Amino acid sequence: MTIYSSVPLEVVLNGLNEQPGPFVDIAVGGIRMQVEPLSPGIGRIVRLLECPLEAYLKPEYTPGTVIAYGARET
């Protein structure tokens, strides 16, 4: 792999060996998604797991969006 960048290699590879998570799979409005918990009942969307194709176009389901999920965990 070759990386061409003016940014120092330490900055580019920062966090490469860190483990992501923990993640929680939840269902909101019939859409299953993976969420990174921020506080009890609130999380940041990591990715959509099962949903209709049009859900990818809705800004409220964009990865990085903070949502409230309460007791709807699966």
Give domain status of residue 63, yes or no: yes
Q: What is this structure's pTM?
A: 0.69
Domain count, the chain: 1
For tokens 């949903």, the residue is 51
Question: Would 39 be classed as within a structural domain?
Answer: yes
What does DSSP say about strands 66-68 and 42-50: parallel, antiparallel, or unpaired?
A: antiparallel
Phi and psi at 51, nearest 5°, equal -165, 160
The rounded distance, in Å, linking the Cα atoms of 67 and 58 is 14
- Identify the domain containing residue 38 by its residue range: 19-68
Residue 46 amino acid letter: V
Cβ contact 31:55 at 8 Å: yes
Q: Which amino acid is at 45?
A: I
Tell me the pLDDT of the chain (74 aa) as tens digits. Answer: 787 889 988 888 887 887 777 899 999 888 999 999 999 989 999 999 999 999 999 999 999 999 998 754 44
